[in-house]
Amino acid sequence: MKKIFLVGLISLFLSGCNKTVSDEVVSDKMFIGDWKCNYIDYKSIWDGNNFGEYKIDEKFEVLVTFKYENNSLYSKITNKDEWTKRSLVEEYNNKTIQDEDGFLKMKVTKSLKKVSDDKFITTDECEFISKDEEYDSFNRKFKNEITCTRIR
């Protein structure tokens, strides 16, 4: 009897060991509820040849509520009246978009990291580079990191 119990306990333990938070499929439904989100905006200055290290430009905190209706995710900053339809999973798809026109090269990367059921981080990185050295003062590089923790 003790052997059966021990084998069952070990099997239960081992089956739970292989799963990590990063292995889970993230869906918009995981965001339902109230969250405290800490924003940190960074910027990097162009020195004439390259961008420097990111430096904190601004920090602030907001309370955000998410709801899921009609197969869509909606968000609202707590003190505002309007709900906005959005899919965090689609918006922060861990891909980089690059584009350019006659004047500017642009690169945008958005990512979403689920830390736990009660915490996630989104990151936006944007880089704008002028093709004409005469206008390199327009070169910009920004990063926005938002860490949200569920309010219980």
- Residue identified by tokens 């070990």 is 10
Q: What is the CA radius of gyration of the chain?
A: 21
Q: Provide the pLDDT for residue 8.
A: 35
List, in sequence order, every residue forming a beta bridge with 55; answer none if it has no partner.
Answer: 43
- Taking CB atoms within 8 Å and a gap of at least 24, the contacts of 72-76 are 72/28, 73/28, 73/29, 73/31, 75/31
Predicted pLDDT at 2: 36
Signed CA dihedral, 107, 146, 78, 88: sign only: positive
What band does 102 get if pLDDT is binned at 50, 70 and 90? confident
- Work out the average pLDDT over 83-90: 93
Length of the chain counted residue by residue:
152
CATH 3.40.50 describes domain 28-150: no
Quick one: 36 exposed, middle or buried, by C-beta within 10 A (0-12, 13-18, 19+)? middle
Q: Give mean pLDDT, residues 19-38.
A: 79
Yes or no: say if 82 and 76 are a contact pair by the CB < 8 Å rule. Answer: yes
At 24 the pLDDT is: 61
Supply the pTM of this predicted model.
0.78
pLDDT digit string (tens) for 68-78? 999 999 999 98
